[in-house]
Amino acid sequence: MTETPEEEQLVKKHGLFTSIRNSFFAGVVVALPIGLTIWLITSFVGFVDNSVLPLIPKQVVELIPQVLRELHIPGLGILISFVVLWGLGVIATNFLGSRILRFGERILARVPVVSNIYNAVKQIVVTMAQQKERAFRDVCLIEYPRKGLWAIGFVTADLKGAPSDVLPDGHVCVFVPTTPNPTSGFLLFVKIKDIVILDMTPEEGAKMIISGGMVTSNADLEDGKKR
């Protein structure tokens, strides 16, 4: 059956619409990650600049030439923060600086409430720094929140502290993040025999969680671009 001229024109219009639609969504796939990345970076830089620059003493600001004071340099706050943190690190790691730091900590330890907050924060930071090489060391599957349902998790550490005194040996700490925001989630104490270790890197596991299962590796991203 031959198509009438009207039907051929309709098919051509439909094909053109489909092509335009596919090209549009391909553009969205390319532009959205770039736009979000730029937005996140500029927002972070702006936040740091607005938080750090007002902390500079007025005496120091007056030493800066008027032209430079009026010229807003994006990222200046990050540069200043880096220099200050580097300087604190240099001071804290030498003999005199470490003695001054310990003296300041002894003073803080005598201040009610402040000492509790400082000690808690310091313990968390030190623990994270010591465990940074082992954090999210394995990607695993566990049956959660009930039998028959499986969730992706990250093995973070062997079980320690008070829970290890109550639970039998053979438990590890597993962090089960939420989708699409992996910064929130649940800390579970799971038996090692109930864990299925996956052949995935932590980065690939995070991609899968953030994308809701659509992306697991860079290869998936390349395949998506080709389509």
Assess contact for 216 and 187: CB atoms under 8 A: no
Q: Which of 143, 196, 191 is nearest to 171 (CA)?
A: 191
Statement to judge: residues 154 and 184 lie in one domain: yes
Statement to judge: residues 114 and 199 lie in one domain: no
Last residue of a domain, one of 34, 67, 93: 93
Asked if residue 145 has a cis previous peptide bond (ω within 30° of 0), the answer is yes
Q: What is the mean pLDDT of residues 18-41?
A: 72
Task: Answer with the residue of higher pLDDT: 49 or 63.
Answer: 49
Domains: count for the chain: 3
Statement to judge: residues 52 and 36 lie in one domain: yes
pTM: 0.47
Residue 227 banded pLDDT, cuts 50, 70, 90: very low
Q: What is the pLDDT of residue 61?
A: 62
Statement to judge: residues 113 and 46 lie in one domain: no
Q: What is the pLDDT of residue 197?
A: 94
The vertex-105 CA angle with 102 and 106, nearest 5°, equals: 90
The CATH number given to whatever domain includes residue 218 is 2.30.30
Average model confidence (pLDDT) for the chain? 76
Statement to judge: residues 106 and 183 lie in one domain: no
Assess contact for 61 and 69: CB atoms under 8 A: yes
Statement to judge: residues 35 and 110 lie in one domain: no
Statement to judge: residues 125 and 168 lie in one domain: no
E-strand stretches of the chain: 138-143, 150-158, 171-177, 185-191, 196-197
Statement to judge: residues 152 and 213 lie in one domain: yes
Q: What is the pLDDT of residue 187?
A: 93
pLDDT digits (tens, 9 = 90+) for 120-155: 777 766 666 555 555 677 899 999 999 999 999 999
Q: What is the mean pLDDT of residues 77-103?
A: 76
pLDDT digits (tens, 9 = 90+) for 52-82: 767 777 766 666 666 555 656 677 677 777 7
Statement to judge: residues 120 and 161 lie in one domain: no
Assess contact for 115 and 86: CB atoms under 8 A: no
Which residues constitute the domain of residue 154? 138-226
Q: Which of 196, 185, 106, 214 is nearest to 150 (CA)?
A: 196
Statement to judge: residues 76 and 122 lie in one domain: no
Statement to judge: residues 187 and 122 lie in one domain: no
- Sheet-wide strand order for 185-191: 185-191, 171-177, 150-158, 138-143, 196-197
Q: What is the pLDDT of residue 225?
A: 41
Statement to judge: residues 24 and 44 lie in one domain: yes
CA pair distance 142, 163, nearest whole angstrom: 19
Residue 226 banded pLDDT, cuts 50, 70, 90: very low
The vertex-169 CA angle with 165 and 172, nearest 5°, equals: 95
With H, G, I as helix, E, B as strand and everything else as coil, classify residue 182: coil
pLDDT digits (tens, 9 = 90+) for 164-219: 889 988 999 999 998 887 778 999 999 999 999 999 888 888 888 888 888 776 55
Q: What is the pLDDT of residue 21?
A: 72
The vertex-120 CA angle with 179 and 123, nearest 5°, equals: 85
Percent of the chain with pLDDT over 90: 16
